Every structure is written in structure tokens, then in C-alpha cells.
Amino acid sequence: MLDGYGVTHVFMVPAILRRTFAELERRHPGIARVATHGEKSAAYMADGYARASGRPGVCAAQVIGALNLAAGLREPYLAASPVVAFTGGRLPATKFRQVYQEVDDMPAFEPVTKFNATVDDVSRFPDMMRQAFRAAVSGTPGPVHLQFRGNEGQVDAEEAEMEPLCEPQFSQVPPFRPEPDQASVLAALAHLAAAERPVIVAGGGVRASGAQADVVALAEALQIPVATSLNGKDTIPGHHPLSVGVVGSYSRESANRVVNRADLVCFIGSESGGMTTHFWAVPPIGTPAIQIDINPEALGRNYPLLAAVNGDAKVTLARMLAGADRAGAGQRKAWIEEVGKICAEWRDKYRAALTSDAVPIRPERICHELSRHLPEDAIVVVDTGHAGMWMGGMYDLTGPRQSYMRSAGHLGWAFPAGLGAKCGCPGRPVVTFTGDAGFWYHIGEVETAVRWNINAVTVVNNNGSGNQSKRGFDRVYGGTQTEGGRSLWTFNKTNFARIAEDMGALGIRVEHASAFPAALARALAADRPAVIDVVTDIDALAPVAVA
């Protein structure tokens, strides 16, 4: 059935479903069984695989690792990413008898899954597997969990007559493209036509629907600037004349300024959550809004709506484009000029930092070099914290074939997610951007990458600290931190390039910004995993959001 659903990799820590994994080698050697150094990173790899490929990512753990796996599902749950998780579970004959390694794991999966179920009888394999894949990719996608009877899921050693029927429709996102109600489409168009200063806020639902080009086409037809959430950053290239940047907390100042000047905000595939709206200050609640989403429960949750459109983003945008009155676009010349000025002001303000030759290196400069030198089909994977702020605000995608995936909040996600992304899309270059605190989390997976030839490139913004925390500790220490205060967020100096080399990867240390492009080219050309360890300024703090 894994084969039937197009699964190419399973990420896990043994021992789980031993019989299944043995059968895989015998009958489906094309499915890689990637043993990792922790269940959480296995879940993150499955998540990266899913977000890069649009196909469900599969991960697994035996009963003792189940909660480590559940911890790893928190991120794909927040990011609406289809991950299928398998664990071993208790036996009816021995549960509640202090069996080695066992507790009731099911409740812990409840808040981080869309579907959380036990498979107690071998004959239930096919229908439960189908339901798991169906739930993972449908509507707003998300993680699912199946717990198989037996601490290692030994139910898979039993036999039964079963029909391994698969539904390939549920092997990718989206399985359906629901059409919107035409009246709601016309209402949305009427409000857009009447607005003087409209803006689109495109979210992760645009990625899920593959509707990036459709958003850009509508924006061009109606002359509407486009801001994105972090999760929707690859909706529009950074230098497109209508692109204003990422809006919200980890954002670009121009995007927040434009959204706060708008007289109508059109959310597309965005939950309008706290991060994207800078906790509902950008735009302020009460700003006239319309919203397009596949999930009816998302419509109007945070902003009262003038029009709510329930449907798949791609088919909805095609309908809107067909009905759009392009004549009205000319009326927005003044608004488009104002938006252009706001964007130019942002570029002028940050030009010096983006091109800085300072030693230690400024993170803005790394972002700028990535904008200039990443391949046109690159998948960019970015951690949270400062990494999310630097790249969200300072990095520009250069074309429609580049993809961007970001941590929805969990530090340490990006490095294993980048490895998963490379497994999901082996033909595309994958470049991950992470801080050193983020990289430390799952550094052992460098060995996994080498063992499996997962040739992703990881750029470490190595400032010897988790310096995003600096401002907060400055505040609680009344301005000047004690040495003890600094010990809460600073680390020993570490050469990650050397560690990577020891594990068999290519390690490159970069201490001068001018050396970064050659390092990136070498890493991309290496036929092994690569870590570029960039020594950066511990005092560099990312700009905070403009409200």
C-alpha cells in the first residue's frame, strides 16, 4: 500500500513494523527505509518530504519512541503538512501490568493530528491505511497517526486475506479542488473592484493548492499588491513589481506598511493567524476584508468579512480571473505608485546591511548572497527564530520555480526537514538556512545524510549563540546583562564545518562574506551532503516588526 500511495521513503527509528520493513526490502526495494538518530527528526524529515513534494511523508517509531514522534508532529500540524505516523502500541493481554516501555500514547497524539486511531486487528490494515492517507491530504492537510498493536507493531506479522486497494487520488495535496459558490466569487470581485487600496495576503493554502501563478495573474490583472505569510513566501518572486514582502511578525517592513495602508485585505489560503498579522495588528481588526479558503471554518475567524469564498485556491482564482473587470485596474495607479515607493524605501534602508563586508559577517549579507546565487529551481528551507526573521525579511525568491518552506515555530526543524525535502525532490537543489542553536538540535543527522547520500546543503548562521533571545534578556536584566544572563543564550565557539567533515560530509567554513558565493557553488556541486559554517556577528539583531 505504501507503494500504491507513491511513498519513496519511510523515516524511522527501529524497531517498528519489522516484518513490513523486511517485506519492503524483498518486494519494494525502491522504498528507502531511512533509519534516523531520533524520532523527532524522523517526523521532521517526513514533514520536509511532504512540503517539498506535496505527497504524504511517512515516519514511524516503536512504542518507547512514540512521544518523541508525537513531539515531531507538532510542527507539521501547525504548518498543515500531510505526515503519516506509525507507532507500536500496547497489547490487550498485558496493558496496565507495568509492561516494559509502555504508557498510553494515544492522548498525546490527539492535539497534533487530524486522525488518531489504533489498528488492533491485522484485517484492518487496508481500510485504516486508506483513511490515514485520505485524512492527511484532505481539506486543510495535516498529520495523522496509526498505532499498531504490539510495542513494535507486531500485528504486521499476522496474516489475513486482504485487498490492498489504494486510492492514488489521496497520494498528493490537494485530492479535490472544490469549486466555490459563484455568488461569493462575484461578491469578492465587486469588493476588489470598489477598493482604492486593496492588498492580497497569500498564505500556505496557495502553496498547497499550487496556485502561485494564479495569485500573480489576478494581482496583475487587477493591479493589486501581494504580501505573503512566511508559509506563502513562494507565491511571488521578490522583485515582482507587485511584491511587497512577507507580512506580520517575521516580516519585511514594506509589507507591514502596505497592509496597514490598505482599505481592503484579501486573504487567500491564509489562516490570518497571529504570526501573519503580527497578532492582529497588521491589518488591525476591523479593516475591511475578504477571504478565500478551502476550509470553511477558517473564513472570518479573525477578521469580519465582506465576502467569504469557500473553495480550492486555484479553481477559485481561475473563476475570479475570468470574471475580473480589468478596466478598473487603471484607477489604482496612485496606490501602485505609493506601494512602489514604500518598497524602494525598504531597499534603500537595508542596502548597506545587505551588501556589508563586515567581519564577523552580517546575516543580511548571507541572505543577499542567497538571493543572488541560489539556483532557479532551488528549494529553500528555513528554521525559526532569527533564521525565520532574516530570511523572511531579507531573502528574495528570484523566480516562480523556487520553493520556500519555513518552520512554523519549532527551533531545529529546518536541518532534518531539508534532508526530507531532498528525499522528496531528489532532482532539485535544497538549501537550508539555520542558526547554530537550531543546527545543534539534530546535528547527528549529518551522519544519516551521509549514509543515505542525501545531498542537501545546510547554511549555518553561526554566531555562537541563540542571539534572538538577547533582546528579551536585556529587557529582564534592566538593560545590561550579567555574565550569568549571557550564559542563558551563548554557547562555546564551534566549528561545524570540521564536525561535518568528521561525519563524512563536505564542511566549508566561511569567515569573509566575499567567500560565500564560491562556497555555495562548491557545496551545490559536491556529490555529498554539505554544511557551510558561516561565522557571523553575535550582535546582529533582526529588525522587529513594524505595526
Ligand X SMILES: Cc1ncc(C[n+]2csc(CCOP(=O)(O)OP(=O)(O)O)c2C)c(N)n1
543 touching ligand X, by CB under 6 A: no
Burial (0-12, 13-18, 19+ Cβ within 10 Å), 333: exposed
DSSP 247: -
Q: Which is nearer to ligand X, 376 or 539 (CB)?
A: 539
Q: Is 406 in the site for ligand X (CB under 6 A)?
A: no
Burial of 451 (0-12, 13-18, 19+ CB in 10 A): middle
Grid cell in block for residue 332: 489604482
- Which residues is 146 bridged to in the sheet? 86, 117
Q: Which of 78, 244, 299, 437 binds ligand X (CB under 6 A)?
A: 437
Q: Is 385 in the site for ligand X (CB under 6 A)?
A: yes
Q: Is 436 in the site for ligand X (CB under 6 A)?
A: yes
Q: Which helix (H) or strand (E) holds 291?
A: strand 289-293
The answer to whether 300 contacts ligand X (rule: CB under 6 A) is no
Which member of 90, 207, 386, 442 binds ligand X (CB under 6 A)?
A: 386
Binding test (CB under 6 A) with ligand X, winner from 139, 288, 393, 466: 466
Residue 408 CB, nearest approach to ligand X (Å) = 10
How far is the C-alpha of 25 from the C-alpha of 33, rounded, in Å?
A: 9
**ω into 429 cis (within 30 of 0):** no
Look up residue 4 and give its three cell numbers.
500504491
The residue (of 231 and 310) whose beta carbon lies closer to ligand X is 231
Beta strands in 392-512 (DSSP E): 403-406, 430-435, 457-462, 506-510
Closer Cβ to ligand X, 237 or 464, answer by number: 464
Candidates 29-37, 91-99, 343-351, 465-473: pick the segment binding ligand X (CB under 6 A). Answer: 465-473
Q: Of the two residues 426 and 464, which places its CB atom closer to ligand X in the complex? A: 464
> Quick check: 435 binds ligand X (CB under 6 A)?
yes
Cα gap 444→439, rounded to integer Å: 10
Residue 467 binds ligand X (CB under 6 A): yes
Confirm or reject binding of residue 108 to ligand X (CB under 6 A).
no
Q: Which residue is nearest to ligand X (CB)?
A: 435
What track of x and - describes contact with ligand X for positions 28 through 47 (by CB under 6 A)?
--------------------
Residues composing the chain: 547
Of the candidates 265, 263, 295, 302, the residue with the CA atom closest to the CA atom of residue 280: 302
**Chosen residue from 8, 68, 469, 494 binding ligand X by CB under 6 A:** 469
Backbone φ, ψ for residue 173 (5° rounding): -100, 135
Distance CA 377, CA 212 (A): 15
Q: Looking at 411, 419, 534, 535, which residue binds ligand X (CB under 6 A)?
A: 411
From CA 533, how far away is CA 536, in angstroms rounded? 9
Closest approach of ligand X to the CB of residue 435, in Å: 2
Size of the site for ligand X (CB under 6 A): 18
Residue 510 Cβ vs ligand X, minimum distance, rounded to whole Å:
16
Closest C-alpha among 153, 131, 259 to residue 545: 259
Segment lying near ligand X (by CB under 6 A), choices 180-188, 243-251, 459-467, 525-533: 459-467
* 252 lines the binding site for ligand X (CB under 6 A): no
Nearer to ligand X, 138 or 468 (CB): 468
Longest CA–CA separation in the chain, Å: 74
The residues of the shown chain that bind ligand X, judged by CB under 6 A, are 384-387, 409-411, 435-438, 461, 463, 465-469
